[in-house]
Structures are given as structure tokens and as C-alpha cells.
A and B are shown apart, each in its own frame.
Chain A
Amino acid sequence: MRRRTFVAAGISAVAAGTSISCGGNQAGWRFFTAEEARAVDAICEQIIPAGPHPGAHDARVVNYIDIQLTRHFRKHQETYRRGIAGVEAAGRKKFGRRFVELSPEQQVEILSDAEEKSKAFFELILAHTRQGFYGDPRHGGNHNMVSWKMLGLPSPPIRGRERSVWPGFFCPA
């Protein structure tokens, strides 16, 4: 290969490699935009609010929903897009602000309306919030096993097992 060709190929390769980067315009989210993620986080926090114990925000339920919307929940993508837009529109119409900027009482008011008018979306996010809060952390929610700690579940459990033979080690009677 001639030198000029090699240099051209090298530049092409670096350019191709660089193009793999998406520029991070979704701020780490797989499906949601950054604004959608903030809205969903706020909605989930109203469903399981933090009190003496952590809530949906601490459990990173929005992370669970975001991951699963690119996997098992693909079919719900459109419901979420429309549902979030609906909640945002309702917030602007009723209080002139975005959902995340509303007071907790105002947020509850918007969500109470959504429970009646956007039943499909509300029931979906309600179910997903419960799953993300109480489910296995491997799926993206229940960060640091916060809900299991709240319930007093030792995790991982301490569980030895009785054995009849233990090579090279004396067991007391």
C-alpha cells in the first residue's frame, strides 16, 4: 500500500471510530430524553415518595424503566412518549409550568387527572414503578437494594448448608 493510501485509510478509520460516539446528547439515557427522564423520575417519586425510607428517586426507578423500554417494554415506548407529553401539557395548561417545577401538591393534582384521563399510561407507570422499586437490582432499579433494606431483607442472605463431608476440615459434633 502506498503511503498516501495508508494515511487516507488511517484518517477514514479514525473518523469511522469517532462516528461511533453519539455525542452523549441523551445524557446517559437509553430511551428518554433528559427532560423526559426528569419528568418520569418526578412522577415515580410521587407514586413511591421518600419518607423515613428512600423513595422511587433513590431507588432509581427511572433507570429501570429507561433500560426496559429498550428491551422487554419496547411495545410501551409510544405510550410513555404520549403519556409524558400529556402530563407536561397538563402542567403547563393548569399551572403554567413544567411538571418537575410544580409543588408536590400540584404534581399530585396533575397525576390524579392523568389517572382518569390517561388510564393506560398511569397504570403502566404505576406497575413499572412498583417493579423498579421492589424488583431485583440487576434490572436497573432498586439501587443499592434500598427497598429490600427497608423491608429488613438481608441481601445477599447468609446461607450455609449442612454437609456430610468437609474435606480436610474437622467439624465439631
Chain B
Amino acid sequence: MEFLFSLGNLFNFLNYGGFGGLIGCLVLIIIVLVGLNFSGRFKTAIDELVDANPTSISNPVVFTVFGVLTFLAVVVATLGQLVAYFNMFQYGFGMWVLTDLIRIVLVGMLGFAIAGLYFQPERANVKIDKSSSVAEDVIALLSFGLKVPLCFAAMFSNALIVLGVITILSGLGSYFDTSNYYGAMTVQMGLGYFVLGAFAPFLFYLLFLFLFPIYNFWLAILHIPKIGKK
């Protein structure tokens, strides 16, 4: 969350306005379009990257347990956000009534979709292999955290873009009231989500590329005893 706040600070130039602010906005649009182009190219590469890096586990029961825990955590978090949302009604109404509800539903459904991946780990190329050793099981579990954003790269990207637009819309009314700092912060955060969404598949691809090789090395060591055997 702090990362997103600091990302929003990159767009402080909007508060200064003028011709420089307009140029900044045009540059931002070009950056977003370039990011979307990069991400489009990476979506196919991501599917191939997941297919090229299988891991194995002897029994998927531990993924089922994590799936249940994730599901329950998402239920609790969503209910908490809904309670906070309904409490906000005492302060008045505005665009936030619609946008905040859409945000809560969108994030909740995203959380449930991630829990779904734990129930079906084969979608992340985790093979159920009874001959899988304990070390291979541990690698499958630890590396699953890297595979989740990769499998959901397109969905995360689209969700961040939609969330960004919703956040900008919810802050826009207050933004035009120059004495309202909150509106400017909300618009900047929305822009942060929007730009992050444009680059998300590219960033997740790089994250996987730089961090997964550690597991590849361990898997290679574990396969040494199996060389030459059927």
C-alpha cells in the first residue's frame, strides 16, 4: 500500500498545472500506451514461461489447505471493507458510493480467483507426481508465490487499469476543488494504479525471470540422482 502511495507521488506535477502539467499528461499518455504495447507482447510469453517451468508435488492437499485459508482471509477482508464502507455513509454521499463498492467487489473477486488457483495448482503447471521428493514439494510450495502473479498477469493488469480509472473518477469531483487535498491524492493514486496496470505483465515477467532461477538450480541438483534412470 505504501508503495502505491509513493507511486502516486510521482504525479505531483499535476498539482502545478500550467503548460508543463499538460505536457506531463501527454508524456504520461505515451508512457501508458507504450506500457500497454509491452504488456500485450508479454502475455503470450508469460503463458510459455509458465509451461516451460513445471514443478511437482506428491500430494496437492497442502495447496487445498492454503486455498481454504486464502478463501477465508478474503471473506474476512471483504466483510471488513464492506463494514467500513457502510460506516462511511454517516459522512455523506458522493461518487465514492459507487466507485468504492465496485472497488471492494473487484478486489474481493480477485482474491477469490487467486484462492481458486490454490485449489487447482495444475493451472500453474504444478504436476501431481507421487514420486516427487520432499525437497521438490517444498520448491513447488515456495515457487507457487512467484507463479501466482504470472498466471494472473493479464487479470491483474486489467484489474489495476479498471481500478485506476475508478479511483480517478472517485477523486475527480474533489480534485476540481483546489482547496481539497484529498481529491488530488485520490487522483494521483488512481493514476498510479493505471500506470502500474499498463506495465504489470512486463514487471511480473521480469520478477519471475530474476527470482525463479534459484528454484531451477535446486531442481537441477535434485534431478542429478535420476540421470540415466527410467
Q: Are A and B a genuine interacting pair, yes or no? A: no
> Which B residues lie at the A interface, using CB under 8 A?
none
